[in-house]
Chains A and B, each alone.
Chain A
C-alpha cells in the first residue's frame, strides 16, 4: 500500500508540470492584450505599457516565460499579478473561503444525500422513495444560478434566515451557499445510494445473511451498506476535488471571496500567473482526492489490494 501511494504521488509531479504548461500556453494564446485593457477607455502611455510588458515578461516567447515561471516555482515563488500582489498571497487569502464552502457542501451532500438514499433504497416505491425521486429530479434540472438567486431572495431577503452575502457571520454565512452548491451533487448521491442499495439488497450474500437469521439492521448496515457505498464514495471523493476548485457561480452570487471567483476574474483580465497558479493547484487537489478515493476502496472492499 505504501509503495502504491508513493508511486501515485510521484506520478503527480509530471502531471502537474504538464498541466501548468498547458494552462500557461492557453493563457498565452488568449487573444487581446491584458496590459492595454488595464487602461480602459483612456489608453496608457506607450512608455508605461513598455514598462509593464517588460516587468511581466510579456515580450518573451512562450517557452522563456514558462521557464521563468518554473524557475520561480522552485524557489516557492508563484509570481505576481498585474497589481504586484504575490499569487501565493492571493491563494492564501481565497483558499480558506473555498475550503470552508466545500466542506459545508460535502457535509450536506454526504449526510442528506446518504440518509435520503438509504431510506429510499430500503423502502422502495414507498411515498418517501417517490418524494426523493421527484425532488431530486427537480433540483438537478434547475440551473445553479437560478437556484442561488432564488435561495438568496427567499431565505435571505424575504425570510431573513440567512445572511444574503459575504462572510461576516462566520460559518453561518456558508450554510446557504453550501446547500445551494451541494444541491446538484446531493441529489445525485441520493439516487446513487438508493440504486446501489436496492441492487445489493437483492444479491445472494444478502439472502444468505437473512437465511442465517441475522437481524435486518445488521444485514443492511454491516453487509449491504458497506458494499453499496463504494460508488458513492468514489463520487463524493471526486466531488471534493471539484468543489475545491471553487464554485464560480455560488461564490459570485453570495459574494464569497473564494478561489473560483478569483480564477474567473483572472481569466477575464488575462492574469496569466494567477490562472496558472490556481488552476495547477486545482489539478493537484483533483489528483490527490482521487488517490484518497482509491485508497478508501481497499478499506471498504477487502478484495481490493494494491500491492
Chain B
C-alpha cells in the first residue's frame, strides 16, 4: 500500500529520493518498543520528529504515503486502533462494530468525542467523509480502500479503457451502503460478506471529517482539523513542517503525554540523522542504511529496531512464456540464497522471507513458502523438466535510484552460479516509468516489488497481489497471476463466519500460491530508528508510524 518515499530517499548517496520501498532491513527481531528511560520523563515538553515532504495536502482520504501518514496519525484517531500484535482494539471512536451476516455492519460510536474545533464526532462525520473520499471527481488517493462498501462503484466516473479518459459523471454522490441511524450509529452494507471488516476501519480512508472540511476542502489540508491526540494550531508549511499541540479535550485513552510535537521536513534523511547526533532533532524513524552498524553502538538503547510489515518480492512475469511454467518460477526461487544476501548486502538487517504473510501478522506460518530455501540441485532438475532455455540471459528488473542495484546483482550472480543462467540488469527506470511498464505487462523477466498491508490482516497480503481483480493498470498484481482455486478460497475467507475461520481459507490459498510461485518472497524488512537523549518511550506501530502520543520528553 503505502509508498515509502522515504525508505528509498535514503539510499543513493543521500539525495536520491525515488519513490518506493527499499533500503532498510529486516533481520533478527527484538523487542520493538520503548527505549528505556526508566521513569525519566514527566508530562509535558516538546519533541521533534523527522518527516519527508508529504505528497498531498493533509487530508486522511488523500493520504496513502508514509510521510503524510505520520502526521495524520497524530491528528486523527480512527474507529478502531490496533494492538502491537495487530489485533483490532476498540480504543478508538467506535464502541462496537457488529454484524450478524458479515454484510451489514452496525457501527456504534462512543460519546464525548470531538473534533479539534469543538464539533462532535458523529455518524454524519464518518458517512460524509467516506462519501467524499469515494467520489472519484474528488480525486482522493486512498479512495480504493472503501471499495468493499456497497455503491462504491456508482461513485466512480465511467472511464474509457482505451484512452483512460472519464466519459461522464458518476451515477451517484453517496454510497447506497451507508445509512445514518442516529447521531451515534450508522450502518455499513458491503457489496459482499467480509468477516474482517472491523480490521480495515482503522485506516486513513475511514477517518471522520468535520463540517469545516466541506466548507473549505482546499484550506483544510494546510491546517487540518481532526479528532486525534494532537491538533494543528498553525499551518503546515511545505518544505518546513508543522508543530502540533496536545488536544486537551481528547476523548481517547491515548492522550498525548508531551505538550507538542514538531514535524520537521528534511530533504535528505542523512541531514536529519546528523541533527539527531547533535541533539537538534529528537527522532528519526528510519535511518539511512549505511549508518546502521555505527548507529547501533553509537546510540545504544536509543537505537530502536522494529520488525516491519513489509515484504520484498521478486515477481515473475507469468505472461512471459519463459516464466509461464510454475516449475521455472519454483526453480528461480530456490536458486537464491536469501540468507547470504541478507548478510552480505544488508548486514543482517533484513530477514530471509519464508512465507507470503510476514511474522508480524496473524496467520504467519514459519516456512509456509516451501520453495524459499536454497536447493540448487532440485532447482536445476525442475528447470530441466520444464525445458527452460538456459542459453538466453534473463532480464532482472528494478526501479532506479532506490538502492536496489546491489542486491539485485547478487540475485543475478546466484542465478548464474546455481542455475547457469546469465542475467542482464534492467535498473534504469525511475519509479514513474517502472510502475506503468509493470502494470502493462512490459517487464521481460523477474522484477522487484515491495508490499505492505492496507490493514493488518493476512488477506491484505494475498487479495491485492494474487487475484484477477488486481490486474494492472488498476491493481497491484504485477505478475498477472490468477488461479480460480485461490480466488475461491480468498472469497471463502472473506465470507467466513469469523476472522479466525477465514484465516484457514487464506492459509489454504497461501499454500496454493506458494506452489504456483508467481512471486518469490525475498525479505522481511526491519526498520531502525534513533532518538536523542531528550525523549523516551518511542515506538513504531504496525504501520511504521511513531506513536507520538506515548512519547515522553525527559526533563
Contacts and interface: CB of A to CB of B under 8 A. Distances in A.
Contacts of A50: 136, 157, 159, 164-166
Interface stretch (B49-57, B340-348, B524-532): B49-57
Interface string B470-497: 0011111000000000000000000000
A261 B218 CA distance: 24
A257 B266 CA distance: 9
Interface in A167-187: 167
A109 interface: no
11 contacts: A33-B432, A41-B450, A45-B143, A47-B156, A47-B157, A50-B164, A51-B166, A160-B278, A165-B271, A252-B15, A253-B271
Contacts of A2: none
Nearest to A248: B15
B154 to A, nearest CB: 11
B439 interface: yes
Given A41-B3, A41-B20, A42-B144, 20 more contacts: A33-B436, A36-B473, A39-B3, A41-B2, A41-B451, A43-B439, A43-B472, A45-B156, A47-B166, A47-B170, A59-B163, A84-B218, A152-B274, A164-B278, A166-B275, A248-B15, A257-B265, A261-B239, A261-B267, A265-B17
Contact of A37 (B19, B64, B161, B275): B19
Given A50-B166, A251-B267, A44 B449 contact: no
Contacts of A39: 3, 64, 141
B65 interface: yes
Contacts of A214: none
A270 interface: yes
A265 B53 contact: yes
B268 A164 contact: no
Contact of B278 (A47, A49, A157): A157
Contacts of A36: 432, 435-436, 439, 473
B15 A41 contact: no
Q: Which residue among B20, B267, B439, B474 has the maximum number of chain A CB atoms within 10 Å of its CB?
A: B267
B1 A41 contact: yes
Nearest to A160: B278
A40 B438 CA distance: 13
Interface in B412-436: 429-433, 435-436
B340 to A, nearest CB: 26
Interface of B: 1-4, 13-15, 17-21, 53, 55-57, 64-65, 136-141, 143-144, 147, 156-159, 161, 163-166, 170, 218, 221, 237-240, 264-268, 270-272, 274-275, 277-278, 280, 429-433, 435-436, 439, 449-452, 454, 464, 472-476
A223 interface: no
A40 B65 contact: yes
Interface string A133-177: 000000000000100010011001100100111110000000000
A-B interface, 3 closest residue pairs, ranked by CB to CB distance from nearest: A40-B3, A257-B239, A47-B136
Given A41-B476, A157-B274, A53 B164 contact: yes
B415 to A, nearest CB: 25
A37 B164 contact: no
B239 A94 contact: yes
Q: For chain B, what secondary structure do more than half of its interface residues adopt (helix, strand, loop), or is it mixed?
A: loop
A32 B267 contact: no
Given A160-B278, A268-B430, A47 B271 contact: no
A40 B57 contact: no
A94 B170 CA distance: 39
A53 B1 contact: no
Contact of B64 (A42, A83, A248): A42
A253 B432 contact: no
Interface string A48-92: 111111110001000000000000000000000001110000100
A37 B402 CA distance: 14
A210 B277 CA distance: 59
Q: Which residue among B218, B449, B476 has the maximum number of chain A CB atoms within 10 Å of its CB?
A: B476
B278 A48 contact: no
Nearest to A252: B267
A165 B164 contact: no
A255 B170 CA distance: 43
B441 to A, nearest CB: 14
A93 interface: yes
Given A40-B65, A157-B274, A164-B275, A34 B432 contact: yes
B172 to A, nearest CB: 13
A48 B135 CA distance: 9
A269 interface: yes
Contacts of A59: 163-165
A209 interface: no
A264 B474 CA distance: 29
A40 B20 contact: yes
A110 B268 CA distance: 30
A36 to B, nearest CB: 5
Contacts of A21: none
Interface of A: 31-34, 36-55, 59, 83-85, 90, 93-94, 145, 149, 152-153, 156-157, 160, 163-167, 248-249, 251-255, 257, 261-262, 264-265, 268-270
Q: Which residue among B158, B268, B277 has the maximum number of chain A CB atoms within 10 Å of its CB?
A: B268
Q: Which residue among B15, B221, B237 has the maximum number of chain A CB atoms within 10 Å of its CB?
A: B15
B429 to A, nearest CB: 8
B448 to A, nearest CB: 11
A252 B65 CA distance: 21
Contact of B239 (A156, A254, A262): A262
A256 to B, nearest CB: 8
Given A47-B166, A51-B137, A249 B15 contact: yes
B523 to A, nearest CB: 15
Given A50-B166, A53-B165, A84-B57, A44 B278 contact: no
A201 to B, nearest CB: 44
A149 B273 CA distance: 12
A43 B145 CA distance: 11
Contacts of A93: 237-239
A83 B275 CA distance: 29
B218 A165 contact: no
Nearest to B470: A43
A118 B430 CA distance: 49
Nearest to B475: A43
Contact of B55 (A83, A249, A264): A83
A249 B288 CA distance: 18
B267 A43 contact: no
B56 A83 contact: yes
Given A31-B433, A43-B474, A54-B166, A48 B136 contact: yes
Contacts of B239: 93-94, 257, 261-262
Contact of A165 (B14, B143, B275): B275
B92 to A, nearest CB: 23
Contacts of A261: 239, 267
A269 B431 CA distance: 10
A255 B276 CA distance: 14
Nearest to A163: B280
A149 B239 CA distance: 20
Contacts of B439: 36, 43
A90 B164 contact: no
Given A40-B19, A252-B267, A265-B17, A32 B433 contact: yes
Given A48-B139, A51-B136, A53-B165, A255 B432 contact: no
A15 to B, nearest CB: 29
